[in-house]
Amino acid sequence: MTYVIAQPCVDLKDKACVDECPVDCIYEGARKLYINPDECVDCGACEPVCPVEAIYFEDDLPDGWTDFRRADTEFFADLGAPGGAAGVGPADRDHPVVAELPVPASS
């Protein structure tokens, strides 16, 4: 079981959640943040602080966003469980589920 970051985070990346996570398992991608399912301890601290309600317990993901569970899992296929996002830093990539979303026209 794990928490998952869904659509509203894309291109926003407010990162309020990162400061809350006691095990530093929220990793930064190019357009979204990703929760490492092998490192998340289900403490629920990130969920209430997200200003756009992007974070869900995996079983509670709204119907349209269930793909984000796969995105958060597969994002770590190569990375594994490095034991903390601070030591890894932001990645310049995204999972295809995120990468394929249209980029908003810059204002």
Partner 1 sequence: MPVEALTLVPKAEARQTPKDFKSDQEVRWCPGCGDYAILAAVQGFMPELGLARENIVFVSGIGCSSRFPYYMNTYGMHSIHGRAPAIATGLAASRRDLSVWVVTGDGDALSIGGNHLIHALRRNVNLKILLFNNRIYGLTKGQYSPTSEVGKITKSTPMGSLDAPFNPVSLALGAEASFVARTVDSDRKHLTETLRQAAAHPGTALIEIYQNCNIFNDGAYDVLKDKQSAEEAVIRLEHGRPIRFGADGARGVVRDRATGDLEVVTVTPDNESDVLVHDAHAATPTTAFALSRLADPTTLNHTPIGVFRSVERPVYDTLMADQLDTAIEQHGKGDLALLLAGNDTWTVESAS
Of 35 and 71, the one with the shorter C-beta distance to ligand SF4 is 35
Instruction: Write each residue from 82 to 101 as x if it is in contact with partner 1 (CB under 8 A), else as -, in one continuous string.
Output: -x--xx--------------
End-to-end CA distance of the chain: 38
Q: 5 touches which of ligand SF4, partner 1, none (CB within 5 to 8 A by kind)?
A: ligand SF4
- What is the smallest separation between the CB atom of 12 and ligand SF4, expressed in angstroms? 5
Pick from 26, 55, 37, 34: nearest CA to 98: 34
- The Cα 45–Cα 43 span in angstroms is 6
Give the interface segment with partner 1, choosing from 14-22, 54-62, 63-71, 92-100 (CB under 8 A). 14-22
- The Cα 103–Cα 85 span in angstroms is 25
Spell 47-66 as b/e; 16+ CB within 10 A means b: beebeeebbbebeebeeebe
- What is the smallest separation between the CB atom of 78 and ligand SF4, expressed in angstroms? 20
Q: Which residues bind partner 1 (CB under 8 A)?
A: 1, 20-24, 39, 41-45, 47-48, 81, 83, 86-87
